[in-house]
Structure 1
């Protein structure tokens, strides 16, 4: 209303008390569905490009069993098993050994994995266009790479340490090939081992084939550490179950055949190292025995020779047995002496000492006593001889036992060495499946689409949190202090007509007369009818309504045209004034030829212009229009002139309602000037597009000029789930509604 109006409402709710509900969140997401869809499609496109950019990844698997001990050793008995150790093994330690340089280096050398070939002519666009690119193939014979212009085949490539990890370029020449880097260039012949003397050391290379001339190939000799690290990044070694002793090896790569070959060589290298480690203890034991057996044999020979010399010197074979014989003989001699003495006693009774029988007995006694004395002397000497005899015989026995034991173990270990198999057994060698495990195209596209949608949702929410757009009517009223007197939903029919420049009448009464939008305009009419005084300002008979907006594009002209149409249905004379002399467009809505007809701007051009000359009837009964006319230089000054006041007074006598389409408040001061003629001042804003801050500032600018805005009209509300919780909607009720 005009400057004498009273404020209808004041802010009742502080902004800080507003809560962001789930419905607001869902509403923001629904309003930003285009952004979310755009990000989701962008994620899908990136996923498709990624799937085409990366090469397929293949996998090969192998199984190895780790035994607790060597069966070939234990099968020979506990004695020989103790000689070579129990052979226990830790599976966790074996998984680390498989990935060690000790196992991988022989594979690297065999397959020339340190030699890397690349095609510098392959770009990212080529990778996407071709879906996959060729990769180097490593074999015991060398490294090869297929290109569109031929094959590169390198037999060997060795460089000085300072050249490691440095990229060289190979190019076919007329007489052979050229090898170059940033500073040096070398020329060589195909199928010949070429050795060049570079600034950093020697370079040895054998080139068997190259692509056509002019198509280079990059070649690099990687360091062993980088190569083994690259292998380990693709090699997975795990124990299938805790303490099961079954180790699974998996190797991935862009070429199935190459992947299988590398893993197969890794398995064979590990098993070979394992067998070498398993036979190492046995071999070292045999080597030790081979050095000890001759020495023990010599010791045995020496001890036997000393023992034989002793026996020959003392004429005996066995001292213990000889002692027993001497004692037995001494006992027999004692018995014989006793018998002879008895006979001597009997004979001495009858004969003298000279008797032959007595002499014979005496001679026998003398012989026996001499023999007994010899036996006594021999027995007295036996302890010393026996000690020497026992020592010599013991030396012979010990040396014989040591020699025989060593010889026996040596022969058994030779048998073990011949059958040694180690404690690692290959269960499954790798095989080629030719089924890629990556990329998982379907999953990648699904995840990329989902991530894109989530990013889009995040962008929508962030943008929504920073952009204080007009959304909820109640919230807008509480923040600005001006009532929302109407909410006009979007009309899809009018929207479709707006896209067609040749479309006919775009008024709701023609394009969408049964819509909720049209009913909302009628509700606005009802509010204005009962909200305006019976008499206009200064006892004018007409009632003047000024419609403006905070910025261009809010749809104020749409509201003005349709509001005028519904007022004309009351059998009242209605006039629409397009006071936006800069960009007014009401002449298009009512099919007025702007170029051939006069308008409001032309009224000020000459002094003889009248209201009748610039007023035109429309196709709608009781509805006339004054178009904007040709654009003047100073519209604001013209509206503030006495001539415009006179025009308004003249028009007030002929019309019941005058509806003025004013320029946006923030774009020009015209709305403030026009408001002094108004009974009602309306501010149109666009839902989910206009800024609450701009709207509040526009109303504040009006208030500073002592103009109070009587109500806000929220235009172009999209009907949907997020807007069904507002109380500001009206519903269409017509014959088309069947429910």
Structure 2
């Protein structure tokens, strides 16, 4: 007879490739305790991190920037009318400049870092909470150190040095490599080579260590440029808020106050310098304006002497007033040009606005000049002379007033910025760590990680979990055997007995069918016993082979307990342990393994000597015997065929327990001698591909597989789980002596 195995085709819905949300939910629900434990562990880590993290405080200072007026009158009006860059934007960049922050770095010695060495993980947290606990030489938090000078060689910048307290203000400095460099006391300048140290104050127990380092000045400035926040509070409000975070609230306030003071001081200096520059410009222009005024006076007086009295009409007087006003405005605009050239480029909006205003005044001046040309010659000449005189007089007077104002401004320069609020810190509310957020994120991370682990394990774990998956392969399921808690307890009891006494023959072993006949697994095997009646109708003999795809599927459990059930029904049953490498049936039944199947097949003992009576009257066992080097060859011998022919005539049922088909070829050989073959499939262990490949192996040897026994089925939240695919199978199957 030729056995052919044709896998069942997948249905059109292709359910195996679809994501079943309900399946995922049940998979997560089944691992709810694992998810809860992992989540709880991460929450504990988050709580520990939140409690042990160093608090970070934020200091804030507020500065007001007033709109800056031009040193030369009139220029600010031009800028206001035609738009200009917000002064707050400029001031923010000035606050962040190296010149301003550098002052704070220098005065606060920010390029010198020194910190006590605490006990790892919890030492600093205890110290910050004022516990005053010293753990194995770590700092307690009561130490005081003030370093006002620390110079190191060029190649030592940025490297941590160790400073050890010797008690009573003494100390010893070590290099980053651990070499002693120098020793000194507080209040003394100590120099050794390129090292120079001055510690103003040191209060620490002997043996307490500090980590001290020197940073490059520029790097320190860049660090604080990055760490300090400078923002305008509201658009064009002129209110600038400075913020800085630090472990020490007082330290943050001191640094921020230094930066604010340096900025305000430099703003005053800048304002005074601008007034001085404008004053210098006016002093340079004043002699020329004076000469113009004197020349205009001389020409006007000379004309009056030569021409005598000349009457001017009311219309001419009005025209003269207009001309003088426009000429004065033009003169003032021209005075502003020098400051505009210094502050702005030619395409700047303020400069463009100034040029447009000058062009407009020039156009109006030309229009008035056309009217002047319509007057009599004498009135034209007199009008021009009076115009020059009055314009020169007004310009000269205005310049003298400006010089006086600038002298006063330079002497009492106060700048256009002021400190509204000095730096202050809310010591009761550190900005970091956000404990609630850390705990929440820890919860989310732990939960997501646990879920990911469960889903990944499910994706990698491809064992079948429903009878339908087996039947979809084309193999009918004859019995579904639930996982037995009673068998687990029985296994533990037998292991304890085996450890107490190495003589296996004296161990009172029990099978589940004998120990607890009402167990759900035994009830399922009773159903299999009933199904065997119909399965054996078409069989060529009364021999049954129980095999499995891989080790550990429970085929020996099924074989032994099925044999007990058949024997209890009044049948004479022979159970043969054909797994001559690792067969456990003699252990399960408490029978000596000195003579077994391997001894019979190697012709060292007769078959009658190997058939052993068990505690059940109608149940007999042939143990595996000593592990031979060539089990497959022994099974292929005529001796095995002869033995099978003899026993099937003497017993009602002969059950042969075989090695796994994917591990060795023994089951294929044994299958040639039996009437019915069953494949034991373990829940969650054997994949659909393993089952399919096992059936193909049997089919290649012309061994038909009657059906499957679905073993160790777990009761899950979903009733049954679902499996995935796998394609690689390799098992190690070595002999046990």
- Tell me if both proteins adopt one fold, taking TM over 0.5 as the criterion: yes
What does residue 448 of structure 2 align with?
A: 454
- CA displacement, residues 640-686 of structure 1 (integer Å, 9 cap, x when unaligned): 44554454444334432222221222343332332233221111122
Match for residue 99 of structure 2 among 89, 99, 102: 102
Equivalent residues in 2 for 1:39-188 (5 A)? 40=39, 43=42, 47=46, 50-51=49-50, 54-67=53-66, 69=67, 89-117=86-114, 126-128=120-122, 130-131=124-125, 151-158=144-151, 164-165=157-158, 170=163, 177-178=172-173, 180=175
Offset at 1:518? Answer: 4.1
**2:532 maps to 1:528:** yes
What does residue 563 of structure 2 align with?
A: 564
Match for residue 507 of structure 1 among 512, 518, 523: 512
Alignment partners' CA distance in 2, 1:320 and 1:650: 165
Aligned pair count reads 623
Q: Which runs of 5+ in 2 are unaligned?
A: 130-137, 311-381, 498-508, 724-737
Alignment partners' CA distance in 2, 1:301 and 1:177: 79
Q: Is the 8 A contact 2:63 2:239 kept in 1?
A: yes
C-alpha spacing 1:485/1:230, structure 2 compared with 1 (3 Å): farther
Alignment partners' CA distance in 2, 1:130 and 1:445: 20
Q: Is the 8 A contact 1:664 1:671 kept in 2?
A: yes
Match for residue 686 of structure 2 among 674, 684, 690: 690
Equivalent residues in 2 for 1:412-427 (5 A)? 412-413=405-406, 418=412, 420=414, 422-423=416-417, 425-427=419-421
Alignment partners' CA distance in 2, 1:81 and 1:726: 81
What does residue 714 of structure 1 align with?
A: 710
SS in structure 1 of the partner of residue 547 of structure 2:
strand
Match for residue 479 of structure 2 among 462, 486, 495: 486
Alignment partners' CA distance in 2, 1:90 and 1:637: 99
SS in structure 2 of the partner of residue 562 of structure 1:
helix
Q: Is the 8 A contact 2:511 2:560 kept in 1?
A: no
What does residue 268 of structure 1 align with?
A: 261
Normalised by the length of structure 2, the TM-score is 0.68
Alignment partners' CA distance in 1, 2:182 and 2:623: 86
SS in structure 2 of the partner of residue 127 of structure 1:
coil
Q: Which runs of 5+ in 1 are unaligned?
A: 136-144, 312-317, 325-388, 538-542, 728-739
Alignment partners' CA distance in 1, 2:125 and 2:690: 52
Offset at 1:19? Answer: 1.5
Offset at 1:545? Answer: 1.3
Alignment partners' CA distance in 1, 2:716 and 2:272: 81
SS in structure 2 of the partner of residue 660 of structure 1:
strand
Alignment partners' CA distance in 1, 2:523 and 2:33: 29
What does residue 652 of structure 2 align with?
A: 656
What does residue 12 of structure 1 align with?
A: 9
C-alpha spacing 1:675/1:84, structure 2 compared with 1 (3 Å): closer
Alignment partners' CA distance in 2, 1:429 and 1:697: 77
**2:437 maps to 1:431:** no
- CA displacement, residues 138-157 of structure 1 (integer Å, 9 cap, x when unaligned): xxxxxxx9777965431123
Offset at 1:617? Answer: 3.0
Alignment partners' CA distance in 2, 1:303 and 1:193: 72
SS in structure 1 of the partner of residue 685 of structure 2:
coil
What does residue 696 of structure 2 align with?
A: 700
Offset at 1:176? Answer: 6.8
Match for residue 679 of structure 1 among 654, 675, 687: 675
SS in structure 1 of the partner of residue 441 of structure 2:
helix
RMSD: 5.1
What does residue 581 of structure 2 align with?
A: 582
Q: Is the 8 A contact 2:43 2:443 kept in 1?
A: yes
- CA displacement, residues 316-372 of structure 1 (integer Å, 9 cap, x when unaligned): xx9799989xxxxxxxxxxxxxxxxxxxxxxxxxxxxxxxxxxxxxxxxxxxxxxxx
Offset at 1:553? Answer: 0.9
**2:622 maps to 1:615:** no
Normalised by the length of structure 1, the TM-score is 0.68
